Amino acid sequence: MSGELADSEFASYDGEWERPTVFYNTAVKYLVYAVVLVFLVWNVVNVWVPIDRLLRGFGSAWLLVTSMFPPDFGVSIVVTPVQVGGYNVFVPSALAVDNDALRLWSGMIETLAMSIVATAIGVVISVPIAVMAAENLVPRPVYVVGRAIVSVSRALHELVIGIIVVVGFGFGALAGVIALVFATPGFLAKLLAEDLEDIDPTQMDAIRSTGASPIQVLLYGVAPQVMPRLIGLSIYRWDINIRAATILGVVGAGGIGNVLIRSFDRYDYQYSMAIILSIIAVVIVGEVASAVARRRVQ
């Protein structure tokens, strides 16, 4: 019967097939296109850069890049002449490490420490905020407060917070850690709250029916359902904090970014390239490690 009905519908349709479109009114479609075009032109005019300046910039950028090679990691090989068959043969005998290498190493260690400490503190703070921001777990006023906290954390970039904290607490890793901790709930609490809203309510009801307290319901009815997701999000946030910590040093909030900006200030571009390559290596290793850990957990 359904087949006959479909055949009759196709038989009665004598029009032409039309591609699905968002705009069924041609005038509205071209009006939207015109508005978008005008908006783009207006933005181009407002940020317009003269062509000659753009070309000079490319030339200066090329000179800067070429002056960065070869990278200078502050490590050199000491060779010692050795008599072999009446000839002097120079063989490596030691590694010479100067202050630049020590600053690079200490900056990377400080960056990793900042990311780990900030992630640990941020996770502890984000979990209760996520519970507050889950509509199915708390009353409406608490939910509104939780969402407001998440929105404020998401609204301000780590660099903006870093500048504010540096003014208040001074230069150093403490300012970077505070900035990263402030930014963590905006990411972790938001995603965790969405997972909390999607949990199976029957497990909560089963725990609640035994006379359990609200805390026990959270521990035994909610936490087991979202724990793998929480661990995965925490590792992912740590990966983000590694990258953010490398940038915060530019505003004086500690880490390898501070070493990088100082190298540019003294025009030591080869050392700057060594720092950039080190940052890339650390970020790649951290991303791979976090991906493997998240895959194993989830």
Question: Does 8 fall in a domain?
Answer: no
Question: Does 40 fall in a domain?
Answer: no
Question: Does 81 fall in a domain?
Answer: no
Q: Answer whether residue 18 shows pLDDT above 80.
A: no
Q: What are phi and psi of 77, to 5 degrees?
A: -95, 125
Residues of the domain holding 105: 99-297
User: pLDDT grade, residue 15 (50/70/90)?
Assistant: low
Question: Does 182 fall in a domain?
Answer: yes
Q: Answer whether residue 8 shows pLDDT above 80.
A: no
Question: Does 12 fall in a domain?
Answer: no
pTM: 0.77
Q: Which residue has the tokens 């390559």?
A: 277
3-state secondary structure 97-114: ECHHHHHHHHHHHHHHHH
Indicate the number of domains in the chain.
1
Q: What is the pLDDT of residue 187?
A: 93
Q: Which amino acid is at 81?
A: P
Cis? peptide before 228, omega within 30° of 0: no
Question: Does 51 fall in a domain?
Answer: no
CATH (domain of 229): 1.10.3720.10
Average pLDDT over residues 214-235: 89
Contact 189, 123 (CB under 8 A): no
Q: What is the pLDDT of residues 133-157, one digit of tens each?
A: 999 889 999 999 999 999 999 998 8
Question: Does 88 fall in a domain?
Answer: no
Q: Which helix (H) or strand (E) holds 67?
A: helix 51-67
Q: What is the pLDDT of residue 58?
A: 87
Question: Does 74 fall in a domain?
Answer: no
Q: What is the pLDDT of residue 21?
A: 67
Q: Which residue has the tokens 């890339």?
A: 280
